[in-house]
Amino acid sequence: EDQVTQSPEALRLQEGESSSLNCSYTVSGLRGLFWYRQDPGKGPEFLFTLYSAGEEKEKERLKATLTKKESFLHITAPKPEDSATYLCAVQALDAAGNKLTFGGGTRVLVKP
């Protein structure tokens, strides 16, 4: 069974204080690893897709990296508007349809 574990569960940062979120996964064969952002009371919003170890993607202050066992989401010089829950999800090669297995998320709070 596919499993995704995210750590830490919560992260409090000062504005400008860079940090990293971790996503460890177990999957029979990885089709893709996905990062989403979720604001309170909203649906998740797609950020990145990573397909193979060594791949990196960047968007503004966010950078996602992938190894064979985990992915990191680096937040560089965060701003208060980066406060959100960040969700990691995996899709297995043999996944029926396009099923995604999500981790529990990391709640990030950036204080000014």
Partner 1 sequence: DSGVTQTPKHLITATGQRVTLRCSPRSGDLSVYWYQQSLDQGLQFLIQYYNGEERAKGNILERFSAQQFPDLHSELNLSSLELGDSALYFCASSARPDLNKMNTGELFFGEGSRLTVL
Kindly state whether residue 30 participates in binding partner 1, applying the rule CB under 8 A: no
Contacts of 97 (CB under 8 A, 6+ apart): none
Kindly state whether residue 29 participates in binding partner 1, applying the rule CB under 8 A: no
Kindly state whether residue 78 participates in binding partner 1, applying the rule CB under 8 A: no
Kindly state whether residue 59 participates in binding partner 1, applying the rule CB under 8 A: no
Closer by beta carbon to partner 1, 75 or else 100: 100
CA distance 101 to 99: 7
Report the residue count for the chain. Answer: 112
Closer by beta carbon to partner 1, 84 or else 89: 89
Contact region with partner 1 (CB under 8 A), list: 17-25, 26-34, 64-72, 73-81: 26-34
Closer by beta carbon to partner 1, 18 or else 28: 28
| Tokens representing residue 12 in the block | 């409090």
Give the residue from 90, 79, 95 showing the smallest Cα distance to 23: 90
Range 33-44 burial, b when 16+ CB lie within 10 A, else e: bbbbbeeeeeeb
Kindly state whether residue 14 participates in binding partner 1, applying the rule CB under 8 A: no
Kindly state whether residue 105 participates in binding partner 1, applying the rule CB under 8 A: yes
